[in-house]
Chains A and B, each alone.
Chain A
Amino acid sequence: MNKRKRFSIYVMTLVMAMAGAQFAMAQKLTGAGSTFDYPIFAKWFSEYSQAHPGVEINYQSIGSGGGIQQVSNGLVDFGASDGPMTDAQLAQSKVKLVHIPVVLGAVVPVFNVPGVNNLRFSGETLADIFLGNIKTWNDPRIAKDNPSVMLPSMAINVVHRADGSGTTFIFADYLSKVSSAWKSGPGVGTSLNWPKGIGGKGSEGVTGLIRQLPGSIGYVELTYALQNHISFGAVKNAAGNWITASIPGVTAAAASVKNMPADFRVSITNAPGATAYPISSFSWMLVPVKAQDAAKGRVLRDFLSWMVKSGEAQVSSLYYAPLPENVGQKVLKVVYSLQ
């Protein structure tokens, strides 16, 4: 009896000591935004918490729009978005925010043409397909880029994302750079007025429809295509090379951007590098310049520098492209300047 009592006292003291330690250091951060970033954030936050007991970072993947709104109103400690905030949004924001690039994403064209495994697309051709100007697979403009492929005379079914998505934003941003008709037509946004095609819900909806419909073409994130072993087409970059998307190719696109602006709000689609994959983009964390709570600001700053120094090394295991060295150094400078 006595023994058991003593044991239970030990246990209780231990529990209380642990709780006390937790309480003394506990820092709970919340963030919200992009669903694209969620897997890597989940991995980073859990590893960072293990290395820094007492720090807990929660992330709600409610979508970029929601993330921008919540961080602008000071409801969360940080936001995340696949597209940069516009000047108007920054001006409206109640909190002064900076953009911190965290990872890179890329969008790949996915197609289902019976008997065809590899296709190459130039930017203008992609734009004309999605505009509905190229209607069949054996169109001379597709055939010209794919001289060794036997193309069927099948009608092209365009499949696009129906839900608002950063993927759509990146893809449309690229198309509007390579096609003036696209720029003056559908334009750039997370949801578009598509000239033709079927909307699939989410990456899985788009791939599901493409698998179901022979003759269809669509676009998904590179991470999604790699994880699910979906083959995709090569795209001609600004230097005139055919690039099949890969993680190094995406990082190369970011590295080749000249005159990186100080706030990192830059589109890296159609980047100039020789090996750069043209449909690439940063994904950003939106961080207040001055944290509402100094202790939280300190933790967030520490996390961000940890992210650049050791977090980036892990992103390829989840099929994200890491930031290039030169961008990482610039990001660190901004992180140190946060208050």
Chain B
Amino acid sequence: MTDLRMPNPVAAPSRSRAEERNDSSATDAPVGSVSGEVSAVRGYLLSRGNSAGSDRFFAGAMLLCALAIFALVALIAVELMTQSRLSWHAFGFSFFYKFNVDPITHLPLFWDPVNGVFYALPFIYGTLVTSLVALCIAVPLAIGLAVFLTEMCPLWMRAPLSFFTELLAAIPSVVYGLWAIFILVPLLREHINPVLMAIFTEPGLTHLLGWTGLFGDNGLFGGVNLGLGLLCGGVILAIMILPIIASLTREVMRSVPNSQREAALALGATRWEMIRMAVLRNARIGIVGSVILGLGRALGETMAVAMVIGNSPEIHLSLLSMGHSMASVIANEFSEATSDMHRSALIEVGLALFLVTIVVNAFARILVWAVTRGAPARVQ
């Protein structure tokens, strides 16, 4: 209000500058003739000469930086393909979905380096399942954390909370893995898994929801409870991607203009409605973006998962069973892979990981596009 009455200190010089620009553009050709009138800024610009050359150089340099990304991706793809040629020729596309059947146990046989059998399905399955479990745990937690931090956190708590969130992101993954072996595995085995098993094998629920295939002894939480396995891998991944998603989501939410919040509150929204309609709705694209980044880390994470997933190339529905992931099989076996076919198959697993990452990212982007379609924020 007061601004309007006072002479605007910003407006005045900007007006004079605009006039000056008009003046000089009007008398552009015969600059020299009105040399006495040239301002200091104009004089400097003129004395510096034409900048078109350096502008073009700068643009070229930036373009080169951008193209480096394409070059890197292409180099990686080409190298992976040439190095995996041997196994590609031996197994073809069936590398990604086929398996042999063990003659004695009649169980599927995916990966037998001694006899040269290499099929990547259990690794793809393990990577996708652990990442999915991780997202299911980490996304609600991270969004809740971000909402608390931006909307309702008392001032004294804000700094330590942010600090510890970022600290979680800085812990090396091998430390997470060790922590998981010694703390998380016993915790899951003794306290959490028994509860989940009790719920999922409860006769009433099994009878009611058995058709989903997720309940009962062959369901999502059937089998032997060792604490290790796909669930443990998913939980450790969730802890690792939580800080990424949480801190990015917080930044996105912080960038939602306060006027939006005030408007929602002014229209009589409760605090929750304000958060839902003004903050989450406006920030949703950014939130999905941060989830994609977290998913990227989950898909590629190696060490921590390798330490707790059980490292056996099998496919079971139960999250308590052992599994294997693409990144961890490469890390485990590459250095001591003595046969060429084994090495080549491992590189092809790397190629598969590369492709799965691309497909998952593309799918997520399509999802974002389908949900938003560039529509402006609106209140339902």
- In the complex, are the beta carbons of A191 and B312 less than 8 A apart? no
Answer yes or no: A193 CB below 8 A from chain B CBs: yes
- In the complex, are the beta carbons of B105 and A195 less than 8 A apart? yes
- In the complex, are the beta carbons of A164 and B312 less than 8 A apart? no
Chain A residues within an 8 Å CB radius of B248:
none
Answer yes or no: B288 CB below 8 A from chain A CBs: no
- In the complex, are the beta carbons of A209 and B181 less than 8 A apart? yes
Answer yes or no: A64 CB below 8 A from chain B CBs: yes
Chain A residues within an 8 Å CB radius of B182:
208, 212
- In the complex, are the beta carbons of A208 and B181 less than 8 A apart? yes
Chain B residues within an 8 Å CB radius of A89:
338
- A85 nearest in chain B by CB position: B338
**Given A65-B343, A187-B115, A198-B228, A205 and B307 touching (CB < 8 A)?**
yes
- In the complex, are the beta carbons of A193 and B338 less than 8 A apart? no
- In the complex, are the beta carbons of B181 and A193 less than 8 A apart? no
Cα A99 to Cα B124 in complex, Å, equals 39
Cα A191 to Cα B226 in complex, Å, equals 23
Answer yes or no: B132 CB below 8 A from chain A CBs: no
Question: Which B293-307 residues have C-beta < 8 A from chain A?
Answer: 303, 306-307
The bracket for how many chain A residues form the interface is 35 or more
- In the complex, are the beta carbons of A63 and B336 less than 8 A apart? yes
- In the complex, are the beta carbons of B312 and A64 less than 8 A apart? no
Give the secondary structure class of A's interface: loop
Chain B residues within an 8 Å CB radius of A187:
114-115
Most buried by B among A166, A190, A192, A194: A190
Answer yes or no: A324 CB below 8 A from chain B CBs: no
**Given A186-B114, A193-B111, A198-B226, A165 and B336 touching (CB < 8 A)?**
yes
Answer yes or no: B311 CB below 8 A from chain A CBs: yes
- In the complex, are the beta carbons of B310 and A191 less than 8 A apart? no
Answer yes or no: A250 CB below 8 A from chain B CBs: no
B311, B313, B333: the one contacting A200 at CB < 8 Å is B311
Question: Which A205-221 residues have C-beta < 8 A from chain B?
Answer: 205, 208-209, 212-213
A35, A65, A86, A192: the one contacting B337 at CB < 8 Å is A65
Answer yes or no: B342 CB below 8 A from chain A CBs: yes
Answer yes or no: B169 CB below 8 A from chain A CBs: no
Q: Beta-carbon contacts of B163-189 to A below 8 Å, as 1s and 0s?
A: 000000000000001100110011000
A157, A164, A197: the one contacting B336 at CB < 8 Å is A164
**Given A197-B312, A198-B310, A198-B322, A209 and B228 touching (CB < 8 A)?**
yes
Answer yes or no: B104 CB below 8 A from chain A CBs: yes
Chain B residues within an 8 Å CB radius of A86:
338
**Given A189-B114, A212-B182, A164 and B333 touching (CB < 8 A)?**
yes
27 contacts between A and B (CB under 8 A): A65-B336, A68-B338, A157-B226, A162-B332, A163-B332, A163-B335, A163-B336, A164-B333, A164-B337, A166-B336, A191-B333, A191-B337, A192-B112, A193-B111, A193-B112, A193-B114, A194-B312, A197-B312, A198-B228, A200-B311, A201-B177, A201-B306, A201-B311, A201-B331, A205-B181, A205-B307, A209-B181
* Chain A residues engaging chain B, CB cutoff 8 angstroms: 35, 62-66, 68, 83, 86, 89, 155, 157, 162-166, 185-195, 197-201, 205, 208-209, 212-213
